[in-house]
A and B are shown apart, each in its own frame.
Chain A
Amino acid sequence: MTTMTKTEGEPALPGSDPFLSVRDLHVRFSTEDGIVKAVDGLSFDLERGKTLGIVGESGSGKSVTNLTVLGLHNPMSTTVTGEILLDGQELTGASNRTLEKLRGNKMAMIFQDPLTALSPYYTVGRQIAEPFMKHTGASKREGRAKAIEMLEKVGIPQPKTRVDDYPHQFSGGMRQRAMIAMSLICNPDLLIADEPTTALDVTVQAQILDLLKDLQQEFGSAIILITHDLGVVSKIADDLLVMYAGRAVERGSVREVIKSPQHPYTWGLLSSMPRLSSDVNEPLSPIPGTPPSLLNPPTGCAFHPRCEFLDLVGGTRCATDRPDLPAGRGSACHLTAEQKQSVFIEKIQPRLG
């Protein structure tokens, strides 16, 4: 139908080569009910030291993409095609041994729920020190000293005694700090944070987000922040990728996507959530319908069954012809640039208040 090559070419600034580059990534799971197309032709770039926010709802493929980057998918039931280049190194076909050397070292990950993501059987200090000892060959004593240093850096009080605590002796926020300490201990070039604050209280979330942002300055890691919350990305991301049903539907800098979004799905996301500053008498404008099943995604544009603006495109184009995501700033939608702009200004902006 559409050629994938069109989606290549990224918003990379001239002269700065992307340090992580994902090209035409497809991830499929075989399940009892059929093949799930979890990620369907995704391409994006990330520069050194920058933060990319990936926004989408459950089932949009945002988490799967990043597990695939680290090679943490289940190889028995998953088919991965496409390219993942980390600093010029191809990861899609890489051996487990190669990936093990990169994980926790050059690329690290923070998970959503720090209670289940830390093992209850080992001390926090041991779990933090493990990747350091493995990747640098440090001794137990050096590992422990480094773990204490990292705990201090992420703001755990009395790190010298807390290093010997077990995760269940930590509060939720402290556990997530320990996860951050663990992920940064080898000074990774790439840090993937999968909903790092969703399980936390609001006041703790703010601390953790600021901490991630501040530590990024210090460690210089590039961050991929996966979230369903546009508010969270707008706090710390530079660029934004909006995903729907396994595909990227809009891309641009955070400012561009939030100030002048182009895709009807992004419009829907923005206008369905109330803000502290929005007009309380204005009802929310939800996206009608429900997210599609990835077993049997809609033809054409996957969003068309829920889209308000089919008529503007006219005919059956949205249902038959899958729109491409152009290079750089843009959205995968059949509306013309003028239509997008006028719809946003006339219909969407008033809703946002």
Chain B
Amino acid sequence: MSKDTTITKADAVPSPRDGASGETLLEVTGLTKHFPIHAGFPIKHKVGAVQAVDGIDLTIHTGESFGLVGESGCGKSTTGRLITRLLEPTGGKISYRGRDITRATRKEMMPVRSEIQMIFQDPYSSLNPRQTVGTIIGGPMEINNINPPGGREQRVRELLETVGLNPEHYNRFPHEFSGGQRQRIGVARALALEPKLIVADEPVSALDVSIQAQVVNLLQKVQAEMGIAFLFIAHDLAIVRHFTQRVAVMYLGKIVEVGDRDSIYNRPRHPYTHALLSAVPEVDIDGEDRERIRLAGDVPSPINPPSGCRFRTRCWKARDVCASEEPPLIQLGGNRDGHLTACHFPEEPTIAAREEDIILDPALAAIEGAAEKTL
């Protein structure tokens, strides 16, 4: 773990994937987004910044499904918006199929825009209530001046059928549909331009449980049939595991661990990944052989993130070096290719129950400690 191991070096490591061709579609290096905070007197000036995304690297390959998980404030949604250029990056580089699009103008973005599409979380506010379904789905084709054979209306009807809606509903308005159906309209809109990459930001978390599975299956069908790469952003670890082949775990604007699905979910090394996985409430009655880790408190504010390793304030292994030195995102000994971890004191690559649970929460520790003594 020498200091000269730069973060960018990590990107050179080829990533193992299930099946996909391996061609790099999107490459992000050192991507940073700081939202300035203005205050002061008499003239407002910048007094700080929300470090929403702070130097992340990731690569998405053609046809691959890449997951981004983390808790609130980790910067996963901001990352999605930076990649689709809905937000301007503060620093770093985004290159799409070898072309640098970080600072591309509106005109330069035109051909790329149609290839990178987005699906939003809230199916209620992301569709214009005054437009018909036909206009919503056909709009992107009109803006990009695309005339499919058979006409745009024909194409929209085909798309409605693809996402499991009745093509007859072409002239209906969004309010006539349920939440799950609206999310299907959002998917159809994203598909209209035959994109190469879809950024899906919490696409199912606003839906009822029974409807979530319908939409996940639809997205999987679309991905498999059309070979579209996905950046799947979600807080639900089980859904991300189900949907994606590679996963990055974010914490306070940084990627703390990235790797293939099996490595992240079964052989995690970063303490935060361990804590996150152990916190998932599984439908399990007995056979609870997973480790139990209970952190203390909430995620700190991204306005003044901790120095060095950002997780150190909640980590049970933190030592002085964690505060002074930021751990590089590197491949640790024993890890598979492409499984990178940013930690000075990584955990054992297993999620099995430990001899002693890690309970950092003071209230839990107090109650459970007292209970143990009386036993």
Contacts and interface: CB of A to CB of B under 8 A. Distances in A.
Contact between chain A and chain B defined by CB under 8 Å: yes
Interface of A: 57-58, 153-155, 157, 171-174, 177, 201-207, 209-211, 214-215, 217-218, 228-232, 234-235, 254-255, 258-259, 268-270, 272-278, 280, 283-288, 290-291
B363 A286 contact: no
B47 interface: no
B90 interface: no
Given A155-B362, A210-B364, A228-B208, A286 B213 contact: yes
Interface stretch (B33-41, B292-300, B323-331, B335-343): B292-300
Contacts of B363: 153-155, 177, 211, 214
Contacts of A204: 71, 298
Nearest to A289: B210
Nearest to B290: A276
16 contacts: A57-B208, A155-B363, A174-B297, A174-B298, A201-B298, A203-B299, A209-B281, A229-B281, A231-B283, A235-B281, A258-B285, A269-B210, A274-B239, A275-B283, A276-B265, A286-B212
B362 A273 contact: no
Contacts of B265: 276
Nearest to A352: B283
Contacts, number: 149
A234 B275 contact: no
| Most chain B beta-carbon neighbours within 10 Å: one of A211, A285, A288 | A211
A112 to B, nearest CB: 14
Given A201-B72, A211-B364, 18 more contacts: A155-B362, A174-B298, A201-B299, A202-B280, A206-B278, A206-B281, A207-B364, A228-B208, A229-B209, A255-B285, A258-B285, A272-B209, A272-B213, A273-B213, A274-B242, A283-B220, A284-B217, A285-B213
Contacts of A215: 367
Interface residues of B, number: 48
Given A234-B281, A258-B283, A207 B294 contact: yes
A231 B208 contact: no
B235 interface: yes
A285 B213 CA distance: 7
Nearest to A282: B242
Contact of B208 (A58, A153, A155, A202): A58
B180 interface: yes
Nearest to A205: B279
B241 A280 contact: yes
Contacts of B261: 280
A280 B364 contact: no
B318 interface: no
Contact of A232 (B181, B242, B281): B281
Nearest to B281: A231
B216 A284 contact: yes
Nearest to A284: B213
Interface in B224-258: 235, 237-239, 241-242
A272 B181 CA distance: 17
Contacts of A234: 281-285
B283 A230 contact: yes
Interface pairs A-B: 9 shortest CB-CB: A155-B363, A286-B213, A231-B281, A272-B213, A206-B279, A274-B242, A201-B71, A171-B298, A287-B210
Contacts of A276: 237-238, 241, 265, 277, 280, 282
| Most chain B beta-carbon neighbours within 10 Å: one of A155, A209, A285 | A155
B209 A57 contact: yes
A215 B279 CA distance: 19
B210 A57 contact: yes
A332 to B, nearest CB: 18
